[in-house]
Homo-oligomer: A and B are copies of this chain.
Amino acid sequence: MNISFFNELLSSISDRGRALLDLSIGASRETIEELSQALLTSRGEASGVALGRQILDKYRQLEDDAKLAFFKFLAVNFVPESKSVSEAASRYLFDPGEESLRTLVRAVESPKQEYFRRLNLAPGATANIVALRADLLRLVGENRDLKPLDRDIEHLLSSWFNRGFLVMRLIDWNTPAAILEKIIAYEAVHEIKGWRDLRRRLEPRDRRCFGFFHPSLVDEPLIFVEVALTDSVPGSIQSLLQKQGEGETPLIRADRDPKTAVFYSISNCQPGLTGISFGNFLIKQVVSDLSREIPSLKTFVTLSPMTGFARWLIKYLETATDNISEQQREKLTFLVSGDRKAYDDDQDLADIVLPLAVEYLVDAKNASGQPLDPVARFHLGNGARLERVNWRGDLSKKGIKQSFGVMVNYLYELSEIEKNHESYVNEGFVAISKSVRQLSKQSLAGSGNQFGKLRQSNLSHSK
């Protein structure tokens, strides 16, 4: 391997970026639509770089309505010729051989794909195309006819942003401010309140932050995850986010080696890459790298929110009658306001809420039969195990409101991931720990509700 040589390579990327600015002066008189047409002709073959640059220059100056018009232009004009497709389809039906298939493949390929491939010749184009898709996604909601255009771009981007091309990178206090600024802006789970707060999450020896980057998007993290190194599996997010100024306790004592790595926040950064999944790869790579760097680490676990739990529970209470007193019912309904004091006053709710939390995570499914909870869907889909539900896990107003303060630990055990994922995908089974099974039985025993059956079969597979 040959790092140092390649390091210099990248200056070219940078230089190309700069050149972009320099040369954008001599703007074309042609419209963006004319330039786009030209890009797909032989002129595009000869001058793809220049045409691409001009198109992107023009695009950046468009207002939303002009962007919409441009998108519609692409959507309408850059489509496979239906005559060719029909001919190729007929031919295939008549003679379904390799040659016919090939003709058919060529006939159906969207010219938009070639269009964006050529657009990408321009310096710094990839970042611009990602930004363009972010615009498109904003506009596609009210313009469903742009959906195919979006699909074409997504297809291309998922090829370009294949995990094989991503680079994982430690983000710490020596990272350039221009990147860190984006970490502050992109943090989606537990807000970072300025540079001091950021420093607390990056600098202490019991903290880590990793991101994926792409060689053509040098300045932009694609996704990042924040990690805390601790003794044991934590149940409370406030204990992790507490300030670590002078006189405060670090997460691990200076003379001890950390045993547990806690993923307590994971944020996607690029709206333009929506639908292209990085989180799964990022977590597994971090598990693998941290294992090597810090051999004392034995447990890799998340501390995750249950974003839809309270909403689900309130609705559930409307139908379920058994085992929950009217008073408790009222109390729970009130807590959705996020009142911390009311929450602190009642210590008994845990016995009711925690079994239901398990029920929510394990049994509540959406229309596609997947867990209703998006975070559960993500981690269970990755092959993680539902390890623990924690009372008083998030005592912020938001935490009480959305999940009565309950937080969840999902466990990433590398040796189990494949098996868990396959059971989950193929049979719909959720891997759960003993403690979760215990809670699950409580809920089951008392309720006899409609989820019972599924969960029972489920439990027999859990460990």
Contacts and interface: CB of A to CB of B under 8 A. Distances in A.
State the number of copies, please: 4
A333 interface: no
Interface in A216-233: 216, 218-219
Contact of A82 (B48, B49, B96, B288): B96
A333 B160 CA distance: 53
A90 interface: yes
A86 B89 CA distance: 8
A336 interface: no
A47 B383 CA distance: 10
A215 B165 contact: yes
A22 to B, nearest CB: 9
Contacts of A19: 288
Nearest to A420: B46
A164 B120 contact: yes
Interface residues of A, number: 89
A413 to B, nearest CB: 13
A417 interface: yes
A332 interface: no
- From A101, A108, A159, name the one whose CB has the most chain B CB atoms within 10 angstroms: A108
Contacts of A141: none
Contact of A160 (B42, B151, B160): B160
Given A92-B85, A164-B216, A215-B215, A7 B10 contact: yes
Contacts of A125: 164
Contacts of A351: none
Interface in A151-200: 151, 156, 159-160, 162-165, 167-169, 173-181, 194-195, 199
A121 B163 contact: yes
A248 B174 CA distance: 31
A281 B102 contact: no
A222 to B, nearest CB: 12
A410 B344 CA distance: 66
Interface in A69-110: 80, 82, 85-86, 89-90, 92-93, 96, 98, 101-102, 104-105, 108-110
Contact of A162 (B3, B10, B117, B173): B117
A178 to B, nearest CB: 5
B82 A86 contact: no
Interface stretch (A239-247, A421-429, A436-444): A421-429
Contacts of A93: 86, 89-90, 93
A117 B159 contact: yes
B165 A160 contact: yes
A271 interface: no
Contacts of A3: 8, 10-11, 13-14, 174, 218
Contacts of A426: 42
A126 interface: yes
Contacts of A199: 177
Given A7-B4, A98-B148, A167-B12, A49 B281 contact: yes
- From A82, A93, A104, A181, name the one whose CB has the most chain B CB atoms within 10 angstroms: A104
19 contacts: A1-B13, A1-B18, A2-B179, A3-B8, A4-B4, A4-B7, A6-B10, A6-B13, A46-B417, A46-B425, A47-B418, A48-B163, A80-B101, A82-B96, A86-B93, A89-B90, A89-B104, A117-B162, A121-B162
